[in-house]
Every structure is written in structure tokens, then in C-alpha cells.
Amino acid sequence: MRVARWGGIESCRAAVAAAALSGAVLVAAAGPAAAEGNKPPPPVPPRPSSAPAIPITPSALRFGDLVVALPPFVPAEPVRQVNTASAANEAQIVAHLRSVGVAPRRAESMAAAMVGGAVGGAVIACVAGGAVLWMFLGVFSIPLLPFDCAKDIVLGGAAGALIGAAVGAARPLPPS
């Protein structure tokens, strides 16, 4: 009897099909040691949960450390959607920083500064880039402003996120 070993999730279907065609017995294994009868590795402990959610008020937009107050006539649903998306991005940054060994409170501080810096940098770069374009081309720059602003948002957001990461890493943490 032939024994086919399978060690990767990507090749599962191919291994099953090959084993079925050749009449071999398929042995699912995590590697060569598992097929020889050694005990499996110990279970991995669960990852700690992400940072606790920060309450989001419907009267302000929150991008990390950057909080922008809104007038009362702005509807609550779009504000909630923007705040939820911003908080989700911040949580992903916190999870990544914690996965590479950054302390939890430092990761939260850096993520909040990165998100706030990215939004602030994108807005500043878009306004400054549009002003420079207007200065050189005047009224003829109006059709080019969306393209210039798209470029400036990417560059300004990246620069703002890098500056925010440095600020978040350098600032002292509040006492717990």
C-alpha cells in the first residue's frame, strides 16, 4: 500500500485527487514528525483582545488623536460610519504593532498618532498642493485640482502617518 503525505493547505485538493487516482492512502500531517507518531505541538495561547473601544460621539469626527467638532445639522449616520471606519483602521494598526512586539499601551498611542497624523497630513498636503497649483495656473488649474489632490492625499497621508508614528513613540504615556 502506498502512503501519500500532505503537508500544506494549498495542495489539499491536488493531494486528495492524486491519492484517489492512484489508490494510495492519504495521511494528513503537519510535517514528517506527525506522520511518524510523535505527539502534536502544544496549542497556541489565544491572542489578547485589541484595545477597548473608545466611545464615539455623534457630534464629532475622530481620527486617532485628531477630533473635529461638527455642526449640529450634520446627520449622525455618516458620522458614525466614518468614525467606525477610522476606529477599525486604528485597531488594525494596534494589532499589527502588538504582533511585532510593541507594548500594548505604546501601540495604542502610536496608532492614534498615526491615524491622526495621516488625516492631518492628507488635508494639509491637499490644501497646500491646490494653493501652489492655483498660484501657477490660476483659473486653469480647476480641472487639475482633483488629480493634484489625489496625489497630495497619498503623499501627505504617508508623511503624516510617519510623523505620527514618531510622535506616538516619543510621547510619554499617561499613568495607568
Question: Within a 10 A sphere around the Cβ of 127, how many other Cβ atoms?
Answer: 13
Q: Is residue 111 part of a domain?
A: yes
Say whether pTM exceeds 0.75: no
Contact 119, 63 (CB under 8 A): yes
Query: Cell numbers 481620527 correspond to what residue?
Result: 63
pLDDT for 4 equals 47
**Number of compact structural domains in the chain:** 2
**DSSP 3-state of 145:** helix
Tell me which of 100 and 57 has the higher pLDDT.
100
Do the beta carbons of residue 117 and residue 64 sit within 8 Å? Answer: yes
Give start and end residues of each alpha helix (H) in the chain.
12-22, 32-35, 76-99, 104-137, 145-170
* Backbone dihedral angles phi then psi of residue 3, each to the nearest 5 degrees: -120, 125
If asked whether residues 85 and 160 sit together in one domain, one would say yes
Angle (CA) 160-129-83 rounded to 5° is 45
The pLDDT assigned to 24 comes to 52
50 domain residue, yes or no: no
Predicted pLDDT at 16 = 58
Task: Compute the CA torsion angle 158, 163, 166, 170 (nearest 10 deg).
Answer: -150
Residue 13 belongs to what domain range? 3-35
- What pLDDT is attached to residue 171? 87
For residue 98, being part of any structural domain is answered with yes
**Cell 495561547 appears where?**
45
- 48 located within any domain: no
| φ/ψ of residue 45, rounded to 5 | -65, 150
9-65 pLDDT, tens digit per residue, is 445 555 555 555 555 554 554 555 445 566 777 777 665 555 555 666 778 999 988
